[in-house]
Amino acid sequence: MSIERSAELLRLALPWMSRQAAGLHPVSYAVWFDYVAQTNPPLRAAIDEHLAREGSLDEFATHALFKRHVAEVDPETARRVADSMQRALGGIGEAIVSAGSHATRFSASLTQLAVALERGDTSRGIAADIAPSGIARNGPAPRQLADVVAEVIADTGTMRSQIGGLQQRLADSRREIERLRDEVRRARDEALLDSLTGLANRRAFDQALAACLSASTPAAPAWSAAGAAGSAIETARAQAARTAAAPAAVPAAAARGPWLMMSDIDNFRRINDVYGHAFGDQVLQAVAGAFGELMPSGATLARVGGESFAVLVPRLDAESALALAERLRERIGGARIRRPDHDEAEQVTLSLGIAPFHPGEAAQALVERARQALARAKSDGRNRTVSAA
């Protein structure tokens, strides 16, 4: 982000900060910076909802929003970033105070000069109260105009230096704040990843789901070009014809998305019990890798539980959504995962439940419908896909 863009966002954030019932501190700045930047949809939606309900953010709400939607990093990182940001903002404040002090003195000098020029009194000097004889009634002797002009010139140079210093401090502080934001962003990204598979974790999935469902305009189709979708559908149909695990029918009037797919690795507890957790971890990593290879552009793939994965596709027609789910199931079921130091390989199968988003539906309701479809797939014999209405 450029310095100019950062400065513009700072200008937009400050009025929002000043209207709240919370202090003007780095945590508040981080929350409102993200809000005006419009780069964090879940945060923006949460703030708008809170403002509509309460009217303003207090300290508790500000810190809660920061923890959930902005930082989501370990306490030590948050403390270090907050301290550094406080120093950066403090440096700006010191520079502004210093420049303001010099500006006050400069203003006084200019006022004296303006009074003298207005009177046309350039020969007898400048004083607050001049008698007709040219002698000051009260106070020190009049000062010559040349002396005042020299002082104004000197103060002008000082002000130029102060403004230059202030500009430099502002530039340094903006760079420091950008560095800190990058650090927070990296830490936040790490906090949103599953350490074993490298996929998004449950928290990241919840954020992606909230952002997807709250979007005001539908996203462009992520994986529905006629050629690609048609080929995938034909492939899925051919594969389905060769397996006894036929998918449930999908209503023709199903929505074009978003689509949520919930999946479990079948009998994963047995894999852990029989072969050990190390092999179980290998299975999870292999499944995650296979999923990743088949993900359409714009989709979110997350590990949301021990052996559970979720796929969120912003926009897809019903037939293509089912085809994608079947490709995932067939890809996992058709592979063999070899155990370390063993010649034999294990077959792993997958059960999936898929559900389209219904307009006005809450995120939790969509998740529940997809989970119920997954439960039916498992109760019907596993290694199959079931679609919710």
Residue 299's pLDDT is: 93
Residues 327-337: what's their mean pLDDT? 89
Cα separation, 7 vs 26, in Å, equals 15
Please give the structure tokens belonging to residue 158. Answer: 């000082």
Confidence of residue 12 (pLDDT cuts 50, 70, 90): confident
For the chain, the domains span 3-71, 77-191, 202-387
* Contacts (Cβ under 8 Å, ≥6 apart) of 304: 201, 202, 205, 262, 310
Kindly report, residue by residue over 39-58, the tens digit of the pLDDT: 788 888 899 989 998 888 98
- Write down the pTM of the prediction: 0.49
Beta strands in 239-376 (DSSP E): 259-265, 300-303, 308-313, 336-338, 345-347, 350-356
The answer to whether the beta carbons of residues 299 and 321 sit under 8 Å apart is: no
Strands 336-338 and 300-303: unpaired
Q: What is the Cα Rg of the chain in Å? A: 33
Q: What are phi and psi of 72, to 5 degrees?
A: 45, 45
Cα separation, 296 vs 244, in Å, equals 27
The structural architecture, per CATH, of the domain 202-387 is: 2-Layer Sandwich (3.30)
Residue 218's pLDDT is: 45
Residue 24's pLDDT is: 80
